Structure 1
């Protein structure tokens, strides 16, 4: 059951990020149809994230109480309605409203998915499980790019968006009718106890926890990396066409190659982290140093494309940079859940929603930087890349220095989970 659920969460992330990234892949026809400037296109990219952080926290907190199945089912049905609603878009204001609503209802998916996977997998497999979910995001954002580009070319961008709505509907039925909420047989009793605990949260202590070096610098590292996530989603297709001089078809395959290789890289980093944790039970070595080192190395590789403009090196460097810097995405939620395991959904939602604040800033900032360069688009893109590289490298270093997860909490939680898993072994 746990692996089937993980597969569905993977495909849910595929749909989630395909919904995000298809707007970038359709940038050229959309900008031409509505006669948009770069600043207006930056507004479209940013609008997706205006409500995303808030609804991510609210949706995940709701999932802690009512269960992941109900929340994920609701958001998936809403995605379906919104993607079909694209057929009625006829002007920029409607396009922005659509992106705001889509972002609002897609906000809860990632934190709820991480928290749901956390219920089903032991500590020694959490990195792998989360990397599979993150991998679904990369597949949706980049690997399926050639398919999405083909759909846009054949049917037009509106029909392509509507087909993603069909995928959401299929996922909804599979998840609702073929999965369970919790691996523990006595789920109802466990859930009642959890509800009582949720009502007794101490706000002062909770805020103090969020301000601790571990929570703060994990969130900032996630935030910095998410600026890169948004850039890859909104600006990479245009960058490869306008700066690297690729055709639309070459751009699609280039995006897919970057996606495939990066998934392999950050999955390997997560597996290395899990392996080291299994061997030494040391959070600093297995989680923090591995991820911090990967982020710093990835930022250097990202900056290198400013100095080496060869298209082949650009693709290679982006593959490595994306794979290494993205390692915080699967490991970050594990660290946050460890700090307050009974509020797993809420903790991951704060992490992902705080990171997604970058989604509000990044598209507008990139569009502004490109505009500052005047007619020299290459210089504008290079400045945006340098900014991201410095930001990710700096916060990767701070993450490595200041994040010190509580080993005692993890050991105590592992014992509880092992007892729970032994009781529910046949069921699972």
Structure 2
């Protein structure tokens, strides 16, 4: 049965919308800790290094959970794992209201990280099953932009709750939203999905190994191509978690923005991330559709954008104007997040549908290591520098260097030529159901 080229079913749009909301909620949950950093630090009497630890421990079990969650999804189904994951992190969010010590706060952050570890990988896996390859860029972006939008949308609401009702009220609100989403998901995601990706893969196998042999998973996992793409993810999460955990603190304590101005400004980078991901993924899809080349359509977009993010971070630390600094640092964070869209799209071409949960899980596991190291290193630099401003600037410059190196490695060295022919053949049959 022929299906219109590039068509996405109504059921797929519903699932993609819910996965978009999932990433909105997940990233709002992550962002609260940054928004509430000043009152929490004051109440618990934390040092900069201790606050850096708070940011880092979130990712302590994040990597392991991402791998286990992806593997479990391949065995029992992505939808079921997503339900358990959201219920767990919603319970933890609500329990955070009882935090009264540094140790208790660390425990909640560790468990929350374990609950949210598989979220992005599972969202990308679930969405990719409903999308033709020529629509992967924009399709995955519609899910991914829930991340920055989650921060942008929640910022004024959560800041209002924190300033007027105390920081604990924000955690209660996000926990409640998580429970509501779970109920909607259980009813909306009923039934087995027959996806275009599955049909294409089955068709390809019957016609002669369009998809790589299943035993090739480990060779892909340990290939330089996967490792370099995953390192890009590492750099992205280093940048991403600095934006979540430290940027509001920098703007308030170094740039001296008022609470009212801060509640508006903290949303700016996340709005920019949303717009940039939609723009670059659209460009990527058009190039991919035209050339049928992962390198031209994905790699040659990812590398230069990462480099642009590095330059923005460097420039943001040397300008004196608050407006320019906010704009440049926001651009650094914006461009640095491109891997969250391009990375999963590249992985769809590297491994078969059957193992997408595992490969996406491993990708997020390595990616999230940046979230462990970045916030702690930032806190260490701030605590051991001549002053707070100098420490922040060193941290932003280091982040820029990491983006430049990892983005450059992907740009110059990732050439998965042996997969290019498979990608081309897959693109031709993706829409045959």
**Paired position in structure 2 for 1:331:** 342
1:123 to partner: Cα distance: 0.8
**Paired position in structure 2 for 1:9:** 19
Contact conserved, 2:59 with 2:113, CA < 8 A, in 1? yes
1:319 to partner: Cα distance: 3.3
1:216 aligned onto 2:252: no
The superposition leaves residues 390-427 of structure 1 with CA deviations (integer Å, 9 ceiling, x where unpaired) of: 110111111011112322232344456423xx3xxxxx
**Paired position in structure 1 for 2:264:** 253
**Paired position in structure 1 for 2:66:** 56
Q: Distance in 2 between matches of 1:95 and 1:281?
A: 49
1:344 aligned onto 2:363: no
Q: Distance in 2 between matches of 1:252 and 1:150?
A: 8
**Paired position in structure 1 for 2:161:** 151
1:22 to partner: Cα distance: 0.2
**Paired position in structure 2 for 1:109:** 119
Q: How many residues align?
A: 410
Gaps of 5+ in 1: 191-199, 423-428
Q: Distance in 2 between matches of 1:259 and 1:182?
A: 34
> Bigger CA drift: 129-138 or 233-242?
129-138
1:36 to partner: Cα distance: 0.8
Contact conserved, 2:248 with 2:262, CA < 8 A, in 1? yes
Contact conserved, 1:118 with 1:126, CA < 8 A, in 2? yes
Q: Distance in 1 between matches of 2:153 and 2:412?
A: 34
Gaps of 5+ in 2: 1-10, 201-212
Contact conserved, 1:143 with 1:255, CA < 8 A, in 2? no
C-alpha spacing 1:181/1:308, structure 2 compared with 1 (3 Å): farther
**Paired position in structure 2 for 1:418:** 431
1:179 to partner: Cα distance: 2.3
**Paired position in structure 1 for 2:292:** 281
Contact conserved, 2:306 with 2:403, CA < 8 A, in 1? yes
1:180 to partner: Cα distance: 4.4
Q: Distance in 1 between matches of 2:280 and 2:54?
A: 34
1:408 aligned onto 2:421: yes
The superposition leaves residues 247-275 of structure 1 with CA deviations (integer Å, 9 ceiling, x where unpaired) of: 12212211112211221012101110001
Q: Distance in 2 between matches of 1:214 and 1:42?
A: 31
**Paired position in structure 2 for 1:244:** 255
Contact conserved, 1:143 with 1:257, CA < 8 A, in 2? no
1:366 aligned onto 2:358: no
**TM norm structure 2:** 0.90
The SS at the match of 1:120 is: coil
**TM norm structure 1:** 0.91
1:118 to partner: Cα distance: 0.5
The one of 105, 119, 124 equivalent to 2:129 is: 119
**Paired position in structure 1 for 2:105:** 95
> Bigger CA drift: 207-216 or 226-235?
207-216
C-alpha spacing 1:335/1:182, structure 2 compared with 1 (3 Å): farther
Contact conserved, 1:69 with 1:181, CA < 8 A, in 2? no
1:182 to partner: Cα distance: 4.7
C-alpha spacing 1:247/1:184, structure 2 compared with 1 (3 Å): same
1:128 to partner: Cα distance: 0.9
- The runs of at least 4 consecutive aligned structure 1 residues that moved more than 6 Å come to 185-190
Contact conserved, 2:347 with 2:359, CA < 8 A, in 1? yes
1:294 to partner: Cα distance: 0.9
Q: Distance in 2 between matches of 1:324 and 1:100?
A: 28
